[in-house]
Structure 1
Amino acid sequence: MKRNFTVRRGALDGVEAFLSVAHHRNFRKAAAELGVTASAMSQTIRTLEARVGAALFIRTTRSVGLTEAGQRFLERTAAAFDELVAAGEAARELGQRPTGLLRLAAPRGVVPLILEPVIASFCQAHPEIELEIAASDEMVDLAAGRFDAGIRLGQFIAPDMVVVPLTRPFPFVVVGSPGYLANHGRPARLEELRHHACLRLRRSNGAIAPWSFIDGNKEIEAIVSGPLIAHDYPTLLGAAMQGVGLALVPGPLTKAPIADGRLQALLTRFAVTTPGVFLYHPGKRQVLPKLRAFIEHIKNRSTGARGDRTTARRQR
């Protein structure tokens, strides 16, 4: 059974009242400054003195002075209290306008897809925000890592996160270079992949990601092998362009190399579609103006954003 309890009164209780009385040398003036009654001010000081264990003021009918204990208390608390007030103002500023350090966690493969096109324009639009991007394929804990938000493929985001769609759904595409296909042939069926050099991705949990496909309503995981295992999609894409083997990578990353002839798309009718890329964060109440500014900016700049909603609970 839980016991009833009250929060212990802190060491700072009454300090602001003490500093005001010490400054004015007058209880009524101090009370007026803080917007309380003179009797409330006197009671606050008496409570503080009881907690400290010494009288802090000498009171007469005509004046108020500091005792030696009060003078020592003033010397140690005045500067510290000013620092606390300044700390509160600094924190309040972050809650009122877009400023401060904005830390985002994103996989390396997402950086060229989503962030590179908007980094320069965002920094120019919001010069008071410092943007830090931690590009890593590790699944990070936003709170533990002190990140404001993360960016991930939708299927890898926890269901309790608030998400912002950054792209439309897109397929994962098998690609190969013209040179590789000329030497090894072009697979037309999934079972033919076992005869090809297939470049694979190792996830942050240590497992190698399967090559997943869909045939009608049937989900298929093809058994593949090859000469290279990488930890991010850009490395796989680069190796495929060099003719090392075939790669299964997010479709948006393949648009440019397919358009200029460095890669060719394969087995497209079996491609699995992912929900897309999302920015995610713990909740609306924790969104500071700096993150809200980034969300609005990246959505306005993203031609693939769906709709005009800024936040939506992930649908499962």
Structure 2
Amino acid sequence: MSRHGLLELEAVLAIAARNSFRAAAPELGLSTTALSNLIGKVEGQLGVRLFNRTTRSVSLTDAGRAFVEQVAPALREIQEAMATARSQQEIPAGTLRINAFASGAREILAPLLLEFLRRYPQVHIDLVTEGRIVDIVAEGFDMGIRTADLVPSDMIAVPLGPPRSFAVVATPSYFEANGKPSVPPDLLSHRCVRIRLPNGALYRWHFEKEGKSVQIDVDGPITLDEATLARIAVLEGIGIGFFMEADVREDIAVGRLERVLQDWTPPTAPLCLYYPGRKNPPAAFRAFVEMARTLVRGAMRSV
């Protein structure tokens, strides 16, 4: 093995865990082609094939399976030793990989992420936003950001603020021309900006009041899958939109948008930072968690 064999070993284990070069490559910060070339070099140095590769599948050979079984425990010990050494850092440095859904990332980008980078310029944050729920440990993230009800029970969770809520909004001119809905079914006679979920399904707008839940399959002239695009459409007077309140809070405050059906959009679960328990977290990790706790203390005092 080369003097840079740690990356090579991590690459073998990542591919073995996912049975896919394509899925393992982003975790390692490599292109699929570069990863394939790296494994080819490892196999050449060992003199055996570690993986059976076809155009449709990847699987370990017998030699590869034996190699992984012996290497995996040793690599874990090396990684733990490195983590212990990094934990002795006094100045936060290195990379923090964070997984979040887009609306949560928008809420904490300025008050937490960017403020953290200003305070600790030697840290790099790699933020990945996606709608699907991921296993942050298996996919190589240090921490995740989701609503409290979606945080796995075996994770440590740090609330990032008070409960969140949805907001139904449109421009004042739209409501002047079309009237305001007073109950959720009234939306069926309005033009609405429809929402497509990451799985391709159309989102039904959810409402609740006094224990009664209502789901409305709205109709309208446009369907979008990204909240910032939907906000633009609503601000242009296309129709009524359904957003996380934080995404349109400023628009409501200055009068660009008006909120309706507020009594049907009660508070929901708060946003949380979550992560697995770690014996010797590096300084950057510890500093980020502490700043998150400080953020929530400030947010709760302002409520």
TM-score range, shorter chain: 0.5 to 0.7
Structure 2 portions without partners, runs of 5+: 1-77
CA distance in 1, matches of 2:287, 2:231: 32
Q: Which residue of structure 2 lines up, in the alignment, with residue 232 of structure 1?
A: 226
Q: Which residue of structure 2 lines up, in the alignment, with residue 125 of structure 1?
A: 119
Q: Which residue of structure 1 lines up, in the alignment, with residue 166 of structure 2?
A: 172
- Which residue of 80, 88, 94 corresponds with 1:96? 88
Instruction: Indicate if the aligned counterparts of 1:162 and 1:284 stay in contact, CA closer than 8 A.
Output: no
- Which residue of 113, 123, 147 corresponds with 2:141? 147
SS at match of 2:165: strand
- Residue identity matched to 1:151: I
Instruction: Indicate if the aligned counterparts of 1:200 and 1:228 stay in contact, CA closer than 8 A.
Output: yes
Q: Which residue of structure 1 lines up, in the alignment, with residue 58 of structure 2?
A: none
Offset, 1:304? 5.7
The alpha-carbon distance between structure 1 residues 286 and 210, as it changes in their structure 2 partners (threshold 3 A), is farther
Q: Which residue of structure 2 lines up, in the alignment, with residue 77 of structure 1?
A: none
Offset, 1:303? 6.1
Offset, 1:157? 2.7
Q: CA RMSD in A?
A: 2.6
Larger Rg: 1
- Correspondences of 1:1-316 after superposition (within 5 Å): 90-97=82-89, 98-285=92-279, 287-302=281-296, 305-306=299-300
Structure 1 portions without partners, runs of 5+: 1-85, 308-316
Instruction: Indicate if the aligned counterparts of 1:109 and 1:234 stay in contact, CA closer than 8 A.
Output: no
SS at match of 1:96: coil
SS at match of 1:164: strand
Instruction: Indicate if the aligned counterparts of 1:94 and 1:100 stay in contact, CA closer than 8 A.
Output: no
- Find runs of 4+ consecutive structure 1 residues off by over 6 angstroms: 86-89
Instruction: Indicate if the aligned counterparts of 2:93 and 2:283 stay in contact, CA closer than 8 A.
Output: yes
Offset, 1:259? 0.9
CA distance in 1, matches of 2:204, 2:85: 47
Q: Which residue of structure 1 lines up, in the alignment, with residue 40 of structure 2?
A: none
Q: TM-score, normalised by structure 2?
A: 0.66
Offset, 1:162? 1.9
Q: Which residue of structure 1 lines up, in the alignment, with residue 57 of structure 2?
A: none
SS at match of 1:292: helix
CA distance in 2, matches of 1:125, 1:281: 22
Offset, 1:131? 1.3
- Residue identity matched to 1:289: A
Offset, 1:137? 2.5
